[in-house]
Structure 1
Amino acid sequence: MSSTRLPRDLHPVAWWVWALGLAVAASLTTNPVALLLLVAVATVVVVARRSDQPWADSFRLYVWLGVAIVTIRVVFRVVFGAGDVGTVLVPLPSVPLPHWVAGITLLGPVTRESLLAGLYDGLRLATIVVCVGAANSLANPKRLLRSVPSALYEIGTALVVAVTVLPQLADSVRRVRAAQRLRAGETGRVGRLRRFLVPVLEDALERSLSLAAGMDARGYGRATGLSRGTRRVTGGLMLAGLLGICVGTYAVLDQTAPRWLALPMLVVGLLAAVAGLLSAGRRVERSRYRPDPWRWPEAAACAGGVAVAALGWWTGSHDVLVAYPDVSSVPRLGAASLVGAALALAGALCSPPAAAPYAARAETPADLTVGVGA
């Protein structure tokens, strides 16, 4: 067996690049068939390549969150008035509102077109959430922090809490559920929910904070012996970069702004930000124990994510009717969407199987017999 196919954890940055490529493709379309195809790709890869670690169980939480997003989006279409244009399904009466909330109506006729529009919008957001959940389930969040730039180590404790809360939540759900099976308690739905929800949230947050406190106690991301001039130069570069990026982004979006404030200012801001990050990272000393390798499976996963994002952008620019189908017609799937999904799936499945966590081998009766005889 090749060394690249031996069970190991893929580089976490590769998983995030792959998942963000799927999320970018999902943000560029409202085609429900293409969105469901992206969800299917993410689900297949998670099932095939996730490990037995606690954070791997968090994917189902993202899936349920996506279902809730779609449901809420459709309900909002019904509650806040969907309009009477189209095929009326439920002729609900409209609730009159004061003049200072003009443009907003409550209830009203529920049409098929309005429900489909809400379904398409909610499904797009839900697909983005599922793609991010796939990255969080496949990538080790603690190993991901080892790959961040050195300049970001000073906010490492905040990143730990933000990144590990949901994976810790999945592990807390499993442990609290197992503990409650061993003891009796309230049988009502409200009582069971309170007994389950409060310990889960408290345990997940406490474990994330404990990890952050341990990192802070070990001096994670701290640097000493810095001169005042070095701090001023680094801070000035970061502020200049932030200002340039903000002005350049606004000028790019606003066609009436002078063109020298658009791309030139955006490039200058990016260069200043990169210089600030390099200056801040130079003063952080760190060592790595067993650094994560970057081999061809990582490159294949990244290429699959970039390919699906590029094909999604091409579809949104050149085949608008496929990317944004009319709610009055049956959506169809373009060849670019199929090719992008196939490349994303193939690139992710090129990764080796996940490494199983270490577990002590259980003693068998034969082992015990040999031990006694010895």
Structure 2
Amino acid sequence: MPDARNGERASLQGGTGGRGGPRRPRAASLHPGAWWLWSLALGTAATRTTNPLLLALLITVSAYVVATRRPHTPWSRSYGAFVKLALAVLLIRLAFAVVLGSPIPGTHVLLALPEVPLPHWAQGIRLGGDVTAEALVFALYDGLKLATLLICVGAANALASPSRLLKSLPGALYELGVAVVVALTFAPNLIADVRRLRSARRLRGRPDKGVRGLLHVGLPVLEGALERSVALAAAMDARGYGRTAEVPPAVRRTTAALTLGGLLGVCAGTYGLLTAEGGTYGLPVLLAGVAAALAGLWLGGRRTLRTRYRPDRWDVRAWLVSASGAAVAALLALAASRDPAALHPGVVPLVAPALPLWPAAAVLLGLLPAFLTPAPEPPASETSAPDAANTRKEPS
């Protein structure tokens, strides 16, 4: 038996995990800020076009990355809820076009609804009337753009951990970070509670669908999600997130001046870029505002005492993921300025949208995170069960 004991001792020193069998190496995960930059860049690209083919391609890209790189956690299941919300927004936009009409003129009348006469002070608004194909197509393009933006935000919620994102924020934004994390964890906890309560009602033989099931599930779900979010905020506050250090008054005044001046510079520079008259000073003012705001945040972080356990590092993969999303947004913005007819197909006269080749190729750059980032770790049940089945007890 000495050989068996020596082998067991060697396996323990080599990284055996006891009950769970051999311990797996911890996979290096991507920085959560990179996922948010990638998702927001795709959402920015969606705002630059109304071409339904390009918007559908953006939705497909985000869905593929979420399907391949989504971690096995309860909060990562929120992507489906954002897809349903996007579909609801699209249907509401079409319903408004049918009921309230549209300013888009059209000749292809699909149906004629009875029109309700309105007083003279409500000019420009109508209830009912002719519903044209041009008005419906315009509403479809407009609603699909907003739906794509919501789906891109849902991809960020499904891929990035809210608690890890809070650790990565600068110290000057810790109060804002706590509020944002509470808000971001509300929706995933809401979805997890819905699944749990619906399965519990099914096991008890009670209805979990329809209006009756919604009424019995809605209140406990809202209460549970709110309690979890508030408990998270209380736990972070108990661990010292509210501590501040004493800084000289000159530093406080300088921090406030830099932050306020930087935000004003960002607003003025953005306005200059959006207007034709301010194209010469817009970019310099914007860059100066961003630099002043970053300097103010750096100085403001000196008054916050924070320690980070195993901080997330911004590595080469985070740069590549962020750059892939930024490239999609920049190329679609360039295409919108050079060929607006391809990215904004007309509805009067009504024509079928065409897929522009190089903007579509630019959208495909958003697939790079599916190949550059590590695969998510399997659930604990999947890793421990095979190892436990393969281990056998050695005789002593």
TM-score when normalising by structure 1: 0.89
**8 Å Cα contact 2:48/2:333 also seen in 1:** yes
Using the TM superposition, name which of 167-176 and 243-252 deviates more.
243-252
TM-superposed CA distance for 1:80, in Å, is 0.8
For 1:188 and 1:178, the matched residues in 2 are separated by 11
For 1:342 and 1:114, the matched residues in 2 are separated by 31
Structure 1: gaps spanning 5 or more residues: none
TM-superposed CA distance for 1:252, in Å, is 4.5
Residue aligning to 2:221? 200
In structure 2, which of residues 237, 251, 256 is the aligned counterpart of residue 235 of structure 1?
A: 256
Using the TM superposition, name which of 183-192 and 136-145 deviates more.
183-192
Residue aligning to 1:118? 139
In structure 1, which of residues 215, 220, 223 is the aligned counterpart of residue 236 of structure 2?
A: 215
Q: Say whether 1:336 aligns with 2:350.
A: no
Aligned to 2:112, the other structure's residue is in SS state strand
- Where do 1:1-374 residues align within 5 Å? 7-82=27-102, 85-185=106-206, 189-254=210-275, 262-263=282-283, 265-327=285-347, 328-359=350-381, 361-362=384-385, 370=393
Q: Deviations over 1:287-313 (max 9, x none)?
A: 222222333332332222112112211
RMSD over equivalenced CA pairs, Å:
2.7
**8 Å Cα contact 1:156/1:221 also seen in 2:** no
**8 Å Cα contact 2:52/2:141 also seen in 1:** yes
Using the TM superposition, name which of 235-244 and 321-330 deviates more.
235-244
For 1:24 and 1:233, the matched residues in 2 are separated by 33
1:335–1:161 Cα change, 3 Å: same
Using the TM superposition, name which of 78-87 and 21-30 deviates more.
78-87
TM-superposed CA distance for 1:182, in Å, is 2.9
Using the TM superposition, name which of 316-325 and 193-202 deviates more.
193-202
For 2:208 and 2:27, the matched residues in 1 are separated by 44
TM-score when normalising by structure 2: 0.84
Aligned to 2:312, the other structure's residue is in SS state coil
Structure 2: gaps spanning 5 or more residues: 1-24
How many residue pairs were aligned? 367
**8 Å Cα contact 2:198/2:208 also seen in 1:** no
For 2:339 and 2:146, the matched residues in 1 are separated by 21
